Structure 1
Amino acid sequence: MPILITITGPIAAGKNTVAELLADHVLSTGRTVVVADVDDVADMLRMPAGDGKGRLWFRAHQAHGALVGQWMRSDVDVVISIGPVYTREEQDALYTRLPEDAVVVRVLIDAPIFATWERVTADVHRGASRQREFHESAHARYRSLKDQIPADLVFDSGDLAAADIAAKIITAAGLD
């Protein structure tokens, strides 16, 4: 059964950067890896106007959980799940779809808003996260729910480089 590494945290905390470093490491050891981002699943989902963004996000979390659960039943070696999995409902959408004997390493990558704002304004490929109001609102949501997020490993990417975070996760997950 694959090892599942879940990575959550606020916008621009470095979740995707760390996930790519982890995936590169896993591949370099001859193992297979899947990277599943809830944002990518949300981008696939189309809903009628008026259904509300909240419903879209919850449905995206449900589909993401089903996808991750199926990958955990496959013969890949490592599954990396990325995204804002903050609330009990979002957590249930992911974790209740897993096999009972799943090995999970839950990672929370935090970062202060000044650091994340600096990152998104420097990245022209960012979408809504480059809008100040959206960015601040997303951070406020994360901060209000942070204490409810289960985590085995917690890092602050304002203080620690992505490569150092990835190295610590590799060791903790026994992937070295």
Structure 2
Amino acid sequence: MKQLLHNISQCTICKVHLPLGPRPVATAHINSKIVVIGQAPGTKVHESGIPWDDQSGKKLRQWLGVTDEQFYDTENFAIMPMGFCYPGKGKTGDLPPRPECAPQWHDALLEQMPNVELIILIGAYAQKYYLKDKAKRTLTETVGEYKSYLPKYFPIPHPSPTNRFWRAKNPWFEELVVPKLQNTVNIILS
């Protein structure tokens, strides 16, 4: 696992597409129980090198019902985004995650984590990649049908502040789904 994480940290396969250059952000441990698969690091995470070290991360930890210490304990959570580096700025937020990362690294990481009990799929990119034709037409429908993907996957929206409009239009997520997510995480970690 150490060698694989080192190789990931040295990755430059999409270097020419990265405005701030490569700085892969991923964490894992052979004993990780839960894998968090999001989109790609933002500029704050690119600077710090700490995954989910921003407002999105605060909201995510709130949704999961975990402390910073629990979240950053790699024996609890492995963090492997769809794109390991900051992809650049788009018209309405960051660009999509680079398509090279997941096929290059995800299987190798997952193979070295035999104790994974849950994979949390954050946002449409992760959900389409992992759920394939089982993903619903929209993220809202996929998240609404989260029970059908358990016990392996738990799809959720991105916790970004820019997603506050989605959350306002879909209050059922925080009222009904978040408590189920917290309970599932709590059972796995206890």
Per the normalisation by structure 1, the TM-score is: 0.38
Q: Which has the higher contact order (CA 8 A, sep 6+)?
A: 1
Per the normalisation by structure 2, the TM-score is: 0.36
More strand by share: 1
